[in-house]
Structure 1
C-alpha cells in the first residue's frame, strides 16, 4: 500500500495539531493540514492549505485533492462567555452547515473515510450513578454546542448512506495534555500556586482523556475496518473524583495540595449565586463513559494511563513556565 493522504482540519488547534504532529512521524501517511487564513502557521514539515472558514460556502477542492481520509477536528467549540446573540444559530452555521459542506465535497472527491471529532456532550451532561454513558445510548444534548454536534452526526450518517463514504464519529470527554487551556489549565495553576481548594469532600466520578490517548484512537480509526460507520467514546478508561484528580496533579507537579472538605451542596449554592452553575456542574458533577465498544470492535486500549497523561501535561506546563 502506498502513502495515503490524510487531510486534518483544525490543524492549528489543540487536537488537530497533535494529530498532524503524530501522523508526520509515521510511515505510510502524507499529511495535509487545513487551517483558516488567520490562524498561526501549522505544524512544521506538514503541507498546509488555508481556507476562508468552516462554513456552508467554503470551497474545499484544493484541500481535498487526492485525499483518502479526512480527520475533521475543526469546530466552533463550547464558549464560556458567549457573545453571539443567537448562539445555537452560530454553532449550527459552523458545526453543522460547515461540516456537512466539507463532508459532501469529500464524498464527491472520492474520500474513503470521514472521521468526525464530536463531543460527549451529544450523550448529555451527567451520568447516572453506576451507569456510565455508552456510545450507542440515545443522544441527550443539553446545550447549543452539544445539539450542533448531534445534528452534524445525524447529517453525516445520512450522507454516508447516500454516498458510501464511511463515517466514524469520536466523542471525547474532557481532553487534557500538553498545552491544555481553559478550566484544566486553571486547575494546574491552582495546584502549582499552592492555593487551598474547597474540594476535599467531592466524591464525584469523571472520565477524562489525555491528548495522547485521543490521538492514538483517531489514528487507529483511519484504517481499522471495524471503525466504519461507528460511534466511539474516548477516555483514559479510568474514572476519578475531582479531589483525586487534584492530588494526582499535585504529585505530577511535585507540589503539596491542600483540599478543604467543603460540602458539595454549599459549593453549588455559592456557584448559583455567582451565576456559575455550569462551571459547578463541570467541576462537581459526575460524567463517566464506557469504552468497552472500542476494545471489542477495534481492539483498542488506551496506551497511556491517567498518571502518565498528567505527567506529560505537568512537564509541559513547567517547561513553558521556565521558558
Structure 2
C-alpha cells in the first residue's frame, strides 16, 4: 500500500513540483491549498483549506505517514500590513504549531518543516553556513521562521514519538519562479545593460527539481528524523554568472558593464536599497555536507546549464 502524504501549500511554486515528484514515485498525495481550483498534478488529491482559519480534522490526517509543511507567509507578499512581524508570526508560527499539534495527536510519523536559510542571516564572509551556524535573522520573515523552528523543536521534544525534520533552502530557481529569481529572470529578458561586470560574489542556490528530490529523501530516509538540514547545490555562482547564463539561453549577449562594487554599495544604500545590494553583490555560501554524509544525497551539478535552459524556455514562451 502506498504511503499517504499531506503537503500544505501544494499549489505554490515548490508545492506543485513536490506533489508531482511524490505522485510519480508512487505516494498517495493529499495537496492542501486555499483554492478549490488549484492546478495540482494528476493523481494528487486536492483538499481545500485555509490553515489560518480552518482545522485539519482527524479524518483527513488518519493514516497520514508524513506532513510536509510548505504553506506560509512569504516575504514581500501582500500589503504593507502583511510585512509586519506580528503578521508573519500569525501565519508562520501560530499556524505551523497548530498543524504540528494535530499531526502529533493523529500519530503522524514525521513532520517536515520547510524553513529558510535566512534564519542564519543574509551574508557570509568566507565561512559557509552549516546547520551549526548561529541564528541571525535580518527580516521579519526570517525571524518568524526561526521562532517556528524553535517552537517546533520544543513541541516535538515534549510530546509523542513523531519525528521532526527541518529543511533550510536558499534561493530556489526554476521556471515561473516568484520572488527574487523571478525578478532576475524578467530583468535578464529586458536586455538592458546591467552594472554587474565586476560582481564576483559566491551564492549557493538550488533548483526547484533538486529541492523537491531532497524533500522526498527527508520524508522517507530513517536518518532524516529529528534532524535539520541546510541544502543547496554544491558549486556557488555569482549574480553575474546567473545573468550571463539566463541571457545565453535567451540568445542574448551578457550586457554587463563594470562598476566598482563600493560605488554600487554607496548608490543603492543612498536610495534605500540596501537589501538589493545584499542580494545582488554579497556572498551567501552554504555547506551542505551534512545531507551528503547523513543521507547520501548528492545534488546534481550544472547550475549554469540549468539556468541556460530556463532562459531558453522563458524566451520561447514569450515569442
Class of the TM-score when normalised by the shorter of the 2 chains: over 0.9
Gaps of 5+ in 1: none
For residues 78-89 of structure 1, the aligned pairs below 5 Å read 78-79=75-76, 83-84=80-81, 87-89=84-86
Q: CA deviation at 1:294?
A: 0.6
Aligned to 1:45, which of 40, 43, 46? 43
For residues 110-259 of structure 1, the aligned pairs below 5 Å read 110-129=107-126, 131-162=127-158, 163-259=160-256
Number of residue pairs the alignment of both structures matches:
317
Residues in 2 aligned to 1:64 and 1:238: alpha-carbon distance in whole angstroms: 39
**Aligned pair 1:261/2:258, yes or no?**
yes
Gaps of 5+ in 2: none
Q: TM-score, normalised by structure 2?
A: 0.94
Aligned to 1:59, which of 55, 61, 67? 55
Residues in 2 aligned to 1:175 and 1:117: alpha-carbon distance in whole angstroms: 12
2:246–2:310 CA contact under 8 A, matched in 1: no
Cα pair distance change 1:317/1:86, threshold 3 Å: closer
Residues in 2 aligned to 1:188 and 1:85: alpha-carbon distance in whole angstroms: 25
Q: CA deviation at 1:44?
A: 3.3
2:245–2:305 CA contact under 8 A, matched in 1: no
2:172–2:206 CA contact under 8 A, matched in 1: yes
For residues 286-305 of structure 1, the aligned pairs below 5 Å read 286-305=283-302
Q: CA deviation at 1:193?
A: 3.1
**Shift >4 Å, 4+ stretches:** none
Residues in 2 aligned to 1:204 and 1:314: alpha-carbon distance in whole angstroms: 21
Q: CA deviation at 1:313?
A: 2.3
Q: CA deviation at 1:37?
A: 3.8
Residues in 2 aligned to 1:316 and 1:243: alpha-carbon distance in whole angstroms: 20
Root-mean-square deviation (Å) = 1.8
State the secondary structure of the residue aligned to 1:16.
helix
Residues in 2 aligned to 1:207 and 1:38: alpha-carbon distance in whole angstroms: 36
Residues in 2 aligned to 1:109 and 1:207: alpha-carbon distance in whole angstroms: 37
Q: TM-score, normalised by structure 1?
A: 0.93
